[in-house]
A and B are shown apart, each in its own frame.
Chain A
Amino acid sequence: MSIPKIIKLVNGEKGNLIRITSLNLDGVMRRRLLDLGFVAGAIVEVIRKSPLGDPIAFRVSQTTIALRKEESSRIEGVLMTDGE
């Protein structure tokens, strides 16, 4: 409980709540993700995973957005729940 667990969004499990800490992307894609609400401090919920694990749907500021692993593997955050 003491050490915050940092994970990549791509490794989140259904039901996980993740508070974003960093976006390791540049340029237009970074801008686009920021516009969609993937900003540091925002809490993202893993809604569902595709059968093959890609893409993954996230809930971010009241909207569902699906990301491919190219993007979701570059976004990191603190795991807040285990979604049990």
Chain B
Amino acid sequence: MGNSYRVALAGNPNTGKSTLFNALTGLRQHTGNWAGKTVSLAQGNVLYKDKTFNLIDLPGTYSLFSNSNDEEVARNYIVFEKPDVTVVVLDATSLERNFNLALQVLEMTKNVIICINLIDVAEKQGININERILTNRLGVPVIKISARNKKGFPMLLDTIDRIVTGAIECVPVQTTYPDDIEEQIKNIEPKVSELIGNRLSARWVSLRLLDGDEKLLNEISKRFGQKEGSE
């Protein structure tokens, strides 16, 4: 059949990624309310229509700049293993904090779904979220769910389905930086693009290079071989 697709779950710690993972896959991966609970990558399958979605539960992080092991694992998976869809799970009660990671993911990869979890809790706090406006601004589907109460799952699964079949095209919004940075990106992006082709987003790699991200450089030469890494 070959109808298997990889779907990665990313998000801040304690946003309910593992709850969502367990509810969808029927597995009982241990979850707990403390930092770094999801250490290695848990995987499980969801059958939907004629397809199998292979869910990967990434470690919860505030960022993906490889400040720590967790962040490196999550970052490398999204960038190098290239899941068919990356679902970023956000805590509806703390969107400002959570969008830091979401915007980073939108810079790294194309097929992204923003999944706003704990929507029931947020509504009780009087927080109203207009997912249509967010979808328009971000250029990718935004879906509200409650993983604990299994609300919003049909919409989420249907959206994953429509992305992998190409019915929806994601056009993630790109963060615009101050002029001097944009200028430098313009200078190095063509060269980066020449070296890595379309294996990674050239704009994103350029940004990481400007930031002096040596770990990423090492990872690239490790994975793509030495042929272009000889100075």
Measured as residues with beta carbon below 8 angstroms from the partner, the interface class of chain B is under 10
Task: Mark out the residues of chain B between 20 and 59 whose CB falls within 8 Å of any chain A CB in the assembled complex.
Answer: none
Cβ of B186 under 8 Å from chain A: no
Task: Mark out the residues of chain B between 84 and 118 whose CB falls within 8 Å of any chain A CB in the assembled complex.
Answer: 93-94, 96-97, 100
- Measured CB to CB, the nearest residue on chain B to A42 is B96
Q: Tally the A-B contacts, defined by beta carbons under 8 Å.
A: 24
Distance between B106 CB and nearest chain A CB, rounded to angstroms: 16
A37-63 vs B, CB cutoff 8 Å, 1 = contact: the mask equals 100000000000000000000000111
Interface of B is mostly: helix
Distance between B144 CB and nearest chain A CB, rounded to angstroms: 19
Total interface residues on A, using CB and 8 Å? 9
Cβ of B62 under 8 Å from chain A: yes
* Cα separation A61 to B94 with both chains bound (whole Å): 8
Which residues in A have their C-beta under 8 angstroms from that of B100? 35, 37
* Cα separation A32 to B97 with both chains bound (whole Å): 13
Contact between B97 and A37, CB atoms less than 8 A apart: yes
Distance between B208 CB and nearest chain A CB, rounded to angstroms: 12
Contact between A35 and B94, CB atoms less than 8 A apart: no
Cβ of B67 under 8 Å from chain A: yes
- Residues of B participating in the A interface, judged by any CB pair closer than 8 Å: 62-63, 65, 67, 93-94, 96-97, 100
- Residues of A participating in the B interface, judged by any CB pair closer than 8 Å: 28, 31-32, 35-37, 61-63
The 9 closest A-B pairs by CB, nearest first: A35-B63, A35-B62, A61-B97, A62-B94, A61-B96, A32-B67, A28-B67, A31-B65, A37-B97
What are 13 A-B contacts with C-beta separation under 8 Å? A28-B67, A31-B65, A31-B67, A32-B63, A35-B62, A35-B67, A36-B62, A37-B100, A61-B94, A61-B96, A62-B93, A62-B97, A63-B97
